[in-house]
Amino acid sequence: KAADWQIADAEIWLAACLADRGERDEAESILLRELAVLEKHDVQSRAVREALTQLVKLYDRWKKPDRAAEYRARLLATPQPH
Please, what is the average pLDDT of the chain?
90
- Mean of pLDDT values over 39-46: 75
The one-letter code for the residue type at 52 is: L
- Mean of pLDDT values over 49-67: 96
Provide the pLDDT confidence category of residue 42 given band limits of 50, 70 and 90: low
pLDDT in the model for residue 67: 98
- For the question of whether the overall pTM of this predicted structure is more than 0.75, the answer is yes
DSSP 21: T
Nearest Cα to Cα of residue 10 among 47, 40, 43: 47
pLDDT in the model for residue 24: 96
Strand ranges inside the chain, DSSP E: none
Angle at 29 between CA 24 and CA 32, to 5 degrees: 115
The one-letter code for the residue type at 66 is: D
pLDDT in the model for residue 9: 83
Residues in the chain: 82
